[in-house]
Amino acid sequence: MNQKTERLRQKYLDNPPQGMTSEDIRRMSEDALLDMDYFLNEDDLLEDEAGVEGFYIF
């Protein structure tokens, strides 16, 4: 496994998301772990668009 993925796994093993256990994290595939991290941090991806709401067509 990739070194970054292992650091991410260790992060979630130390502090599992609500509703999960360390054992759940330990058994996750690399892809599932990356997907979980993406969705848990999805709000951070739009940080530069603070205050912008709605749907716009240009």
CA distance 22 to 25: 5
Residue 2 pLDDT grade (very low, low, confident, very high; cuts 50, 70, 90): confident
Q: Which long-range contacts (CB under 8 A, 24 or more apart) does 32-36 make?
A: 33/5, 33/8, 33/9, 34/5, 34/8, 36/12
% of the chain surpassing 90 pLDDT: 59
- Asked if the structure places residue 57 within a domain, the reply is no
pLDDT at 58: 62
Counting the structural domains of the chain, the total is: 1
Global pTM value: 0.68
Domain residue limits at 14: 3-47
Which tens digits make up the pLDDT trace of 24-46? 999 999 999 999 999 888 775 55
> How many separate helices (H) and strands (E) can be counted in the chain?
4, 0
CA distance 38 to 7: 15
Residue 21 pLDDT grade (very low, low, confident, very high; cuts 50, 70, 90): very high
- Asked if the structure places residue 41 within a domain, the reply is yes
Place of tokens 């530069």: 48
